[in-house]
Amino acid sequence: MAKKKTIKDVEAEELVKDIEETEEEIEEVEEELEETEEEIEEVEESVEEDEDDIEDEEDEDDIEDDEDEDEDDEDEDDEDDKKELDKKAKKEEKKKEKESKKEDKKKDKEEKAKNKKDGYFSSVGRELKKVVWPSAGEVAKYSLAVILFCLILVLFFIGIDALASFIKGLF
């Protein structure tokens, strides 16, 4: 009766270990998913920045064109001048909005960098919890194996040295 209980206990422990390993694998996959999502966000942000830069260049070209037109059309009505001034004001407002968006994005990146640092150390802690440390018996067994291997190497090199000395003494 006692043996059956221990066998059942062992089977239960194995099932618990399997469940824990599965949960750990799920956590790893979730972490990879989060990292992938962060990379996607970074790529999207860089694309948005590139689009903003292109729009800024186009706006600058439009402003230059408008300035050139202003010089050519000095004799036009005051209404046209007002419209152009309104256009310039709108373009300047757009530039300011874009600059503020860029500043916001920079702040968001800084915050993400801070969060990544926190995430790094917490992930290190989680990984250390996953480590399976050897038992005292295993440590003793592996230590003995290392010491024996070292002794064999020492004897090998002593033999090689003695053989080389003997051969050198012959000549």
pLDDT at 18 over 50: yes
d(CA 150, CA 171): 32
Mean local confidence (pLDDT), 77-90: 76
**Do 105 and 26 belong together in one domain?**
yes
Token digits of residue 28:
């790893």
d(CA 154, CA 148): 10
**Do 104 and 152 belong together in one domain?**
no
**Do 72 and 123 belong together in one domain?**
yes
Per-residue pLDDT reduced to its tens digit, 28-56: 888 888 888 888 888 888 888 888 778 77
**Do 11 and 64 belong together in one domain?**
yes
Q: How confident is the model at residue 139 (pLDDT cuts 50, 70, 90)?
A: very high
Mean local confidence (pLDDT), 120-128: 83
Mean local confidence (pLDDT), 84-108: 80
Structural domain range at position 52: 2-132
pLDDT at 27 over 80: yes
Total domains in the chain come to: 2
- Which range has highest mean pLDDT (79-83, 93-97, 143-147)? 143-147
3-state helix, strand, coil in the chain (%, to 5): 95, 0, 5
**Do 73 and 127 belong together in one domain?**
yes
**Do 121 and 146 belong together in one domain?**
no
